[in-house]
Amino acid sequence: MRLPSLFIAFSLLASAASYDSVLIHNVDVYPVTSPMIHNTSVLVIDGKIAAIGAGASGKGGIKVVDGKGLRLYPGLIDSGTELGLSEVSSERMTVDTGELGDFMPQLRALIAVNVESEHLPVVRVNGMTSVIAIPAGGGRGGRGGGSAQLISGQAALMHLSGWTWEDMEINRSAAMYLTFPSIAGRGGRGPQSDDDISVAAPPVSFTELKRQYDAQIQKLNDFFDAARQYQKERAANAPGFKKDLKMEAMIPVLEGKMPVAITAMRERSIRDAIAFSEKQHIRMVLLQPHDVMKFAPELKAKNIPVILGRTEALGDSEDSPYDQVENIPAALYNAGVKFAFATFNNEFARNLPFNAGRAASYGLPKEEALKAITINPAEIWGASDKIGSIEKGKYADMIITNGDPMEIATQIKYLFIKGKDIDLSTKQTRLYEKYLARP
Amino acid sequence: MKKLITSLLFCCLGALAQAPPTAVAISNAKIVTISGATITKGTVVVRDGLIEAVGDNITPPADALIIDGAGLTVYPGLIDGLSTVGIPAPATPTRGGRGAGAAAATAAAPPAPHSNGPEDRPMTTSWIKAADEIQPTDHRIETARNEGFTTAVVFPTVGIFGGQGSIIDLAGVKTENMVLVPAVGQYIAMRTNPNGFPDALMGVISYVRQTYMDAGYYKLSKEVYANDPRGMKRPEYNRALEGILESKRILLPAERLVEMDRMLRFAAELKQPVILYGLHQGYRAADLLKKNNAVVLVSLKWPEKPRDTDPDDEDSLRVLEERKKAPSTPAVLQKAGIKFAFYTDGVEQPRDLQRAVKAAIDQGLSREEAVRAFTLSPAEIYGVADRLGSIEKGKIANLLVTRGELFDDRTKVEMVFVDGVKHVPAPEPAGRGTATETAGGGVNQ
Amino acid sequence: MTSKFFLACLAAASLASAEVKVIQNATIMSESAKGTFNGSIVVRDGKIIEVGQHVTVPPGATVIDASGQWVIPGIIDCHAHIGVDGGVNEGSVSVSSMVNIKDVINPEDIAIYRALSGGVTSMNVLHGSANAIGGQTIVLKTRWGSDAQGMIFEGAKPGIKFALGENPKRQGNPEGGARGGAPVNVRYPATRMGVEDVIREAFNEAVLYKAQWDAYDKAVAAGQHPLPPRKDLKLESLKEVLEGKRLVHAHCYRSDEILMLIRVADDYGFKIATFQHVLEGYKVAKEIAAHGGGASTFSDWWGYKSEAYDAIAYNAALLAKKGVLVSVNSDSLNGELMRRLNLEAAKGMKYGGMTREEALAMVTINPAKQLGVQDRVGSIEVGKDADMVIYDKDPLSIYSKVQKVLIDGTQYFDRDTDVSGRGAKEQEKQKLIQEEKAEDAKTASPRRRAQ
């Protein structure tokens, strides 16, 4: 059915020889949003997928890639990283997340991204083509200790390659990043390794912690109320109205155009975060909810999507079953809640596909695991018209592999971002080559 | 009549000059001897601070002051197996933990010099004897006595090697009169140093190990030197090591089963007779303790749920189980035939103490054994059972007289005899609580 | 873990070890000359007595039907920090060789169970990395339910931890640089130069100490009775290093410090048994290979510290290519990564093209050799301890899960038992919570009034 149009497309554009056009043939395509197609072709023109179908060979100067024995998938998407914003996480000067100030909605993560960060190539070559870059601290070099920043700024959806951050941008304001107040539990996951410089908080009475917690929520509500007031004044445009950058940044949130990515880990915070989002009439995405299963029916009913952290983690209590965290994705899927995976990290961001695969090991259907790192995040972040699957009209963000991208031993043979064939060499491969050659 | 006036005079003079009667007889009382069968109705005669006679068929001597014991029960005076009563409370005598309370400690005393290793003998005052530190005016002595304690095994508890404990009678004006046994063993706590080495539990253990190795070396060097000093550099006097060598046994802390195992092994390695103190997981440890012929002191400060916690937080199964079962420890030890005694461990309010013992009784400890754990057992553990801990002829007249069964809710302490001298607790104010307030703390704070 | 469960485990342990077991019809990755094949394994008295495509099933044997499943040797983690009471770092002094992990083993650390759930059967439990010369270390088997003594891998050579690079010099930073920013006593050294000095100074002392003791031993052998030298625990363990009786496990990152330590060891005449983490080891693979030390590294960690900035995921593969014996470890404080060492090892196939057997070797026979216990564990061969892991699928696949773990022939972990027991455990917990709530309501806590 596609053959005729494909033929026409080829004859029209056969002369195109741009760097972001390519024809991949003889490849098994996994579109994700539709069943796998054996031994077919994908034509990319000017960075977008122009056609998918069997047959035709390339004409003119278009680059051709032979995908014999290989597979083609959409590029993978990590829904939470500090890529480009943090180079050596324990060295504060290299870290640009976690600014000072409790309410900083006007800050934009995108403009602080270091295009030449060594982390970008390292993560790319495991199949990631785009990520959410978050403005919040949490890395060891970032804003540590004490209470978390409430609104950290605007998280960006970006490609992992480009000449500038403008080039990399998919959506500079993909979400407003909000960390909901919380009361630390007595358990907690603690330091992971001897190199982890975490510190336990000193014990404070619950009464006092609850008082602080309630005060923080009040501050949040006050801030949103102030933003609403500003919105009114702005619409009225009375004389003497002064533009306030913080409040300006809140307008799209109030209008429902920008979702709020809310981090809430424990039960109390999750419950109050949902209540808060309803009270303030905002669209929310729920991030890193450890106690998520208690809310699954509610999340489904209210269409609140979830971003899960790494499955390579332990439960919060000594009594947690050893696979507590691994079991959550399957349970969420069975409850009908939409979710995506994120690593919330740089050093381990390249292991995103393995986190998804691990969930598949513990009951999540493989196709769903793959969706959670492709089409689901695309939909959650409002970019499903551009990325997340192999479909005509979307960006040609694609990986060509010699196997299942969630399997450890799989090699990524080609990586395309907006149709451009990305060099798979990284600082690490270069050092490897150099020292391999040492006599 | 003359006799009446004389005795009245004596009483008044007694009141003024505080000269006790030479002999006292409590008759018509129930007597729980501990060493033998309980006497339903009998008499105890006390003279010159010793028990002269006890039995169900005794005629009180003619010169004795008679106390009508109808409705009363006489017990041996209670012995607190590990106490700090009488030693002025140090700023923060925390047990275990990672060097908390450093700031408070330094407020009271000049900061300890930084310790760079075992050779600096950090946190060691092994030469101290509790007997030399006792302040007879410490009001906690009276408080303890009002609860029925006549004796306490008091230890200096600061640092890692706190010093030697002494058995002290809980009444007296001069310390010399109060000391029953000046040195009963070295108190050791697995405490880290806020000011240098040792900074971790394994550091504390290696420090203690090195100290004992050094003590052995010191002893050997002194012997060799004594044998023939010529040509040999003299071994330097080291009071810390002297204190270690003088101690005939050690006390080591152990709450968890893992710690009991660890400390028993450690004591065996050091070749030191040991008494373990703490024992909250004793209910799990019967086999281990039996195998090692262990002697233990059980803290009555049962683990409690911390206050003001997040209702969303659930304690782990391990913690829940321990809280539930800790009071069953004494019953388990009793059943397994393991030698144990109680200590109050800072539980000072009589209501709290009574409730703590009651919890143990509710979980299977017999009432007799509960009393024994406060009387003859600690006497046996510290090797003074020949003179203390039960109501037998010839033993020291330390007695507790109650109205009601010991450890029942409404039981009151009527009087206490220490070294044969009667003490009556001050009347309690309305409501619960002791007659006197207590500041400072016990072994744990 | 309730004490009842412990007792059950212990009971199971004592019953099972004398039994004969047969693991039947599995795909066996033996990590031996026999390679990978479909077959069975016979176990008696905790040892493997037969392995092959066809085995004789002794009468009365317990048969574990492993058809469709995979069996590998028990996983050996060459760098763990679990099962330790009271802190893994004696960080107050630069040389803490007097302390010993063996003194603080906590066999009830739930992290041990979690490691077991991932197939770890032996682990090298190390002192932390706060000191240039740290404390003495020990090899344990994850015999969950045993007491501390029961965890010890009997016969494994004792070790000692060294640490180079940023961690041991952090406390020398006059700006405080300590964990969490809490003020600490400034402690020498503050630079890598100082780290070398600390090590050399310590061994300088140790050499003198050893000379004193050698002289004493000689005099005693000659029938004399001199006063012995004072025994010093700190120098005693370093003397053992000099005598080759104690293995040195050195935490290191940068190539310059790795080379430095090799030269120090050469000068004092001892060997580094393993270079731990050794993220820039690939740059000095030649020197490490010549020295004869093993390398125990992370699969793909990098970039979290300056000294990890040149770390590459190909480190293990490159070191192996250059003739170094390589293992992959977890450095875990809570057992999380210990659940996935099979997958960490599998990354060797992705980064550097290792074969399947080469990859798996990094968590089995290689760490066994590094710890000197290869005669006992590390492969499925006749005569070795029956330490084995049964997976439902290919252990090098992301989709596999551990089903059973045996140590010395005794089953210490069974996923089905664990999963089916969860309901009861949760019920018991809720029961205790409700009981406590009822108690609290009853007594209405007069303590609070008194407060």
Domain identity same for B195 and B321: yes
Place of tokens 């990283």: A81
In a domain, C192, yes or no: yes
Across the interface, of B203, B284, B349, the residue whose CB is closest to C99 is B203
Banded model confidence at residue A67, pLDDT cuts 50, 70, 90: very high
Find the DSSP H helices in A318-410. Answer: 324-334, 352-361, 366-371, 375-380
Read off φ and ψ for residue A422, nearest 5 degrees: -90, 135
Whether A62 has a pLDDT exceeding 70, the answer reads yes
In a domain, B11, yes or no: no
Q: Which domain holds residue C126?
A: 75-377
In a domain, B14, yes or no: no
Banded model confidence at residue A184, pLDDT cuts 50, 70, 90: confident
Q: At what angle do helices A245-254 and A206-236 cross, to 10 degrees?
A: 90
Domain identity same for B282 and B431: no
* Cβ pair B312:A268 closer than 8 A: yes
Within an 8 Å CB–CB cutoff, is residue A216 touching chain C?
Answer: no
| CATH 3.20.20.140 intervals, chain A | 76-385
Q: In chain B, what residues touch A183 (CB-CB under 8 Å)?
A: 310, 312
B25, amino acid identity: A
In a domain, C426, yes or no: no
Domain identity same for B65 and B184: no
Q: Is the dihedral of CA C377, C381, C384, C388 positive or negative?
A: positive
Whether A2 has a pLDDT exceeding 90, the answer reads no
Specify the pLDDT at position A240: 87
Return the SS3 of B371.
helix
Q: Tell me how close the Cα of B196 comes to any Cα of chain C, in angstroms.
A: 5
Q: In chain A, what residues touch C310 (CB-CB under 8 Å)?
A: 427, 431
Q: Tell me how close the Cα of B92 comes to any Cα of chain A, in angstroms.
A: 18
Across the interface, of B309, B314, B316, the residue whose CB is closest to A206 is B309
Please check whether residue C171 is in contact with residue C197, taking contact to mean a CB–CB distance below 8 angstroms. no
Domain identity same for B258 and B376: yes
Specify the DSSP element, H or E, that contains A168.
helix A165-168
Across the interface, of B200, B205, B305, the residue whose CB is closest to C436 is B305
| CATH 2.30.40.10 intervals, chain A | 20-75+388-439
pLDDT digits (tens, 9 = 90+) for C364-406: 999 999 999 999 999 999 999 999 999 999 999 999 999 999 9
In a domain, C207, yes or no: yes
Q: At what angle do helices B329-336 and B350-362 cross, to 10 degrees?
A: 50
Domain identity same for C27 and C164: no
Residue C44 tokens read as 């008696």
Q: Which domain holds residue B216?
A: 78-386
Query: Residue C46 has what DSSP assignment?
Result: T
Query: Residue B183 has what DSSP assignment?
Result: -
pLDDT digits (tens, 9 = 90+) for A247-282: 999 999 999 999 999 999 999 999 999 999 999 999
B123, amino acid identity: M
Best of C302, C341, C356, C425 to substitute, by most chain A Cβ atoms within 10 angstroms, is C302
Domain identity same for C343 and C243: yes
In a domain, C342, yes or no: yes
| CATH code, domain carrying C203 | 3.20.20.140
Whether C450 has a pLDDT exceeding 90, the answer reads no
Q: Which residue of C has its CA nearest to A439?
A: C286
Read off φ and ψ for residue B143, nearest 5 degrees: -60, -45
Neighbours of chain C (3+ CB pairs under 8 A): A, B
Domain identity same for C114 and C58: no
pLDDT digits (tens, 9 = 90+) for A389-410: 999 999 999 999 999 999 999 9
Residue C15 tokens read as 């019953």
SS3 content of chain B, % helix, strand, coil (to 5): 35, 20, 45
What is the mean pLDDT of the segment spanning C209-228? 96
Across the interface, of C86, C149, C432, the residue whose CB is closest to B321 is C432
Across the interface, of A198, A360, A428, the residue whose CB is closest to C313 is A428
Domain identity same for C108 and C134: yes
Specify the pLDDT at position B434: 44
Residue B64 tokens read as 């004795």
* Cβ pair B309:A318 closer than 8 A: no
The distance in angstroms from the start CA to the end CA of chain A is 58
* Total number of domains in chain B: 2
Across the interface, of B196, B288, B352, the residue whose CB is closest to C92 is B196
Banded model confidence at residue C175, pLDDT cuts 50, 70, 90: low
Q: Tell me how close the Cα of C127 comes to any Cα of chain B, in angstroms.
A: 10
Neighbours of chain A (3+ CB pairs under 8 A): B, C
Q: Tell me how close the Cα of C160 comes to any Cα of chain B, in angstroms.
A: 14
Q: In chain A, what residues touch B312 (CB-CB under 8 Å)?
A: 183, 185, 266-268
Pairing of strands A284-287, A306-308: parallel
The per-residue pLDDT of chain A, averaged, comes to 90
Lowest mean pLDDT among A15-19, A347-351, B290-294: A15-19
Domain identity same for C332 and C368: yes
In a domain, C361, yes or no: yes
Specify the pLDDT at position A192: 54
Across the interface, of A206, A317, A318, the residue whose CB is closest to B310 is A206
Q: In chain C, what residues touch B102 (CB-CB under 8 Å)?
A: none
CA separation, residue B308 to residues A203, A204, B313, C352, C431 (Å):
11, 9, 11, 55, 21
Q: At what angle do helices A324-334 and A352-361 cross, to 10 degrees?
A: 80
Tell me which of B435 and C232 has the higher pLDDT: C232
Whether C449 has a pLDDT exceeding 50, the answer reads no
Domain identity same for B376 and B396: no
Domain identity same for C67 and C79: no
Q: Which residue of B has its CA nearest to A210?
A: B310
Whether A3 has a pLDDT exceeding 80, the answer reads no
pLDDT in tens, chain B (445 residues): 666 655 555 555 545 555 667 899 999 999 999 999 999 999 999 999 999 999 999 999 999 999 999 999 999 999 999 999 999 876 654 444 444 444 444 445 566 788 888 889 999 999 999 999 999 999 999 999 999 999 999 999 999 999 999 999 999 989 999 999 999 999 999 999 998 999 999 999 999 999 999 999 999 999 999 999 999 999 999 999 999 999 999 999 999 999 999 999 999 999 999 999 999 999 999 999 999 999 999 999 999 998 888 988 899 999 999 999 999 999 999 999 999 999 999 887 888 999 999 999 999 999 999 999 999 999 999 999 999 999 999 999 999 999 999 999 889 999 999 999 999 998 766 554 444 333 333 333 3
Neighbours of chain B (3+ CB pairs under 8 A): A, C
Q: Tell me how close the Cα of C16 comes to any Cα of chain A, in angstroms.
A: 25
Domain identity same for B380 and B296: yes
pTM: 0.92
Closest CA to C275 of C254, C306, C300, C305: C254
pLDDT digits (tens, 9 = 90+) for C41-70: 999 999 999 999 999 999 999 999 999 999
SS3 content of chain C, % helix, strand, coil (to 5): 40, 20, 40
Choose the final residue of a domain: B348, B367, B386. B386
Domain identity same for C96 and C28: no
In a domain, C431, yes or no: no
In a domain, B420, yes or no: yes
User: Is CATH 3.40.50.1820 the classification given to domain A76-385?
Assistant: no
ipTM of the complex: 0.93
Domain identity same for B309 and B440: no
| CATH code, domain carrying B110 | 3.20.20.140
In a domain, B121, yes or no: yes
Specify the pLDDT at position A148: 74
Within an 8 Å CB–CB cutoff, is residue A321 touching chain C?
Answer: yes
* Cβ pair C300:A197 closer than 8 A: no
Best of A267, A268, A319, A320 to substitute, by most chain B Cβ atoms within 10 angstroms, is A319
DSSP per-residue string spanning C329-367:
---BSSSTGGGGHHHHHHHHHHTT---HHHHHHTTTHHH
How far apart CA C339 and CA C334 sit, in angstroms, is 10
| CATH code, domain carrying B32 | 2.30.40.10
Domain identity same for C33 and C108: no
In a domain, C445, yes or no: no
- Strand (E) positions, B255-319? 274-278, 295-299
Whether C182 has a pLDDT exceeding 60, the answer reads no
Please check whether residue A70 is in contact with residue A119, taking contact to mean a CB–CB distance below 8 angstroms. no
Whether A14 has a pLDDT exceeding 50, the answer reads no
Choose the final residue of a domain: B360, B386, B412. B386
Domain identity same for C239 and C270: yes
* Total number of domains in chain C: 2
In a domain, B9, yes or no: no
CATH number, domain A20-75+388-439? 2.30.40.10
In a domain, B300, yes or no: yes
pLDDT digits (tens, 9 = 90+) for A114-166: 999 999 999 998 999 999 999 997 533 333 444 578 999 999 999 999 999 99
Specify the pLDDT at position C141: 98
Whether C257 has a pLDDT exceeding 70, the answer reads yes
Within an 8 Å CB–CB cutoff, is residue B305 touching chain C?
Answer: yes
Domain identity same for B87 and B67: no
**Strand partners of residue C160:** C136, C248
